[in-house]
Amino acid sequence: MADIAKTLPLKRSSVQSAHERIKQHIHRTPVLTSTTLSNLASTPQTQESLIGTPFEGQTPAHPKINFFFKCENYQHIGAFKIRGAFHALSRLSEEELSRGVVTHSSGNHAQALALAARTYGIPAHIVMPTISTPSKIAATQGYGAKVYFSGSTSDEREAVVKDVIKDTGAVLVPPYDHPDIILGQGTMALELEEQAAELVREDPTLSVHHNQKEGMNGHVNEVDSTHNSSPSRLDAVIAPIGGGGMLSGIATALHGTGTFVFGAEPSFEGADDARRGLAAGKRIPTVKTLTIADGLRTPVGEIPWTIISDKSKLRGIYAVTEEQILAAMRLVLERMKVFVEPSAVVGLAMALYDEEFRHLVEKEGGEKGWNVGVVLSGGNTTVEAIGKMFAVSEQKGERQEGKMGAQGEKVAENVAG
């Protein structure tokens, strides 16, 4: 990779510079709203649905939330990763590019780097876990990359990468642990805040703050270090976290704007390393989990950790169960008609089902509530894979998912009616 000592500083202006460098190569993905999902998030969960959770017996939160979904599943290669890949290659020298590039990834960064390398006309060597989704492997090969297989842990992946570098001389483009990647991923936050403001100016009722007067020239306050008062503002943005490149990029991009940033991750088999690390005050370097959110199976990188552990940049991280991920995924598929992978909906699951976060919105948002941006990070899965996930869930008879699903259906029916 480019020498870290020569990279741009991790601040908002650097994200803006990154956006200028890559915008010709990326889609300005749409931002969608959903009355059904906003109403569902603004409806208290039932006491029954909290049985068996840490919130059992508590009065369910009653926040007011209006969602703005940044649909990175419509991005090139079906995920946000293309942003970091193109920015990373744009920062390499001609000599470095001539050697080709190498990385390790479960799928989305693999496809992103393969496509970016093809665009630049250079070789791409991709190390993928043997358990990677077949469609992601096929897509990576389809972009012309040479694929090598490894075990599922970061240590196993990195060992194969070292061998590839020794054999080929290729330049490592890590999936998340580098400033160029972080700055590239953060560009989605610039688009999200701008697009949400545009939507609200066209239809003020989309904002929970629509009764307030718009700020000067209708623009979102970009420099106020407090929670800004523009009616078109995003009060919070939630993004998934695996290695942390996207979340740390968003936190960097939005630092000082008055928009809070939150992370969301799965809890299955210790996948919530970021949340646990923040609680312990130190980064957890290894994770071994088979959560259905396969894009989030990696530990937080060292550089992303320096950002997400900064309380002035990240407000908090919450974890959700496999059942909650599936329940959120069903709502996005059936109610929004948007095709997503499990990793993409952990942020929505957090807003719908995590009572700690919901109580926070209720307390700080008051009667008006919060406008919440949610990153739908990707859509690289298959109909067959989705069918199997739901079939296994139904066979297990998971009571909690059924209750959450029933609650969602009831609210959706009320909205439709």
Instruction: Give the model's pLDDT for residue 174.
Output: 92
% the chain with pLDDT above 70: 90
Residue 115 identity (one-letter amino acid): L
From the options 3.30.390.30, 3.50.40.10, 1.10.10.60, 3.40.50.1100, give the CATH code of 12-78+181-416. 3.40.50.1100
Structure confidence by residue, pLDDT tens digits, 245-304: 999 999 999 999 999 999 999 999 999 999 999 999 999 999 989 999 988 998 999 999
- What's the whole-number mean pLDDT along residues 113-126? 97
Cα–Cα distance, 361 to 365 (Å, whole number):
5
Instruction: Give the model's pLDDT for residue 125.
Output: 97
**Nearest to residue 104, comparing CAs of 40, 174, 187, 20?**
174
The answer to whether residue 206 scores a pLDDT higher than 90 is yes
Q: Which two tokens stand for residue 212?
A: 């307030």
- What's the whole-number mean pLDDT along residues 219-243? 72
Bigger pLDDT: 216 vs 337:
337
% the chain with pLDDT above 90: 79
The answer to whether residue 224 scores a pLDDT higher than 60 is no
For residue 275, count other CB atoms closer than 10 A to its CB: 19
The catalytic residue positions are 81, 106
Structure confidence by residue, pLDDT tens digits, 298-335: 899 999 999 999 999 999 999 999 999 999 999 999 99
Q: Do domains 12-78+181-416 and 81-177 have the same CATH topology?
A: yes
Residue 337 identity (one-letter amino acid): K
Query: Helix 346-353 vs helix 322-331: angle between axes, to the nearest 10 degrees?
Result: 100
What is the Cα Rg of the chain in Å? 20
Instruction: Give the model's pLDDT for residue 22.
Output: 98
- What's the whole-number mean pLDDT along residues 47-65? 93
Using alpha carbons, list the distances in angstroms from residue 265 to 27, 243, 253, 355, 417: 25, 11, 20, 15, 34
The answer to whether residue 4 scores a pLDDT higher than 80 is no
The answer to whether residue 405 scores a pLDDT higher than 60 is no
Q: Which two tokens stand for residue 353?
A: 């089902």
The answer to whether residue 397 scores a pLDDT higher than 80 is no
Structure confidence by residue, pLDDT tens digits, 57-81: 999 999 999 999 999 999 999 999 9
Instruction: Give the model's pLDDT for residue 406.
Output: 53
What's the CATH code, domain 81-177? 3.40.50.1100
Structure confidence by residue, pLDDT tens digits, 349-381: 999 999 999 999 999 999 999 999 999 999 988
Q: What is the pTM of this model?
A: 0.89
Domain boundaries, the chain: 12-78+181-416, 81-177
- What's the whole-number mean pLDDT along residues 121-139? 91
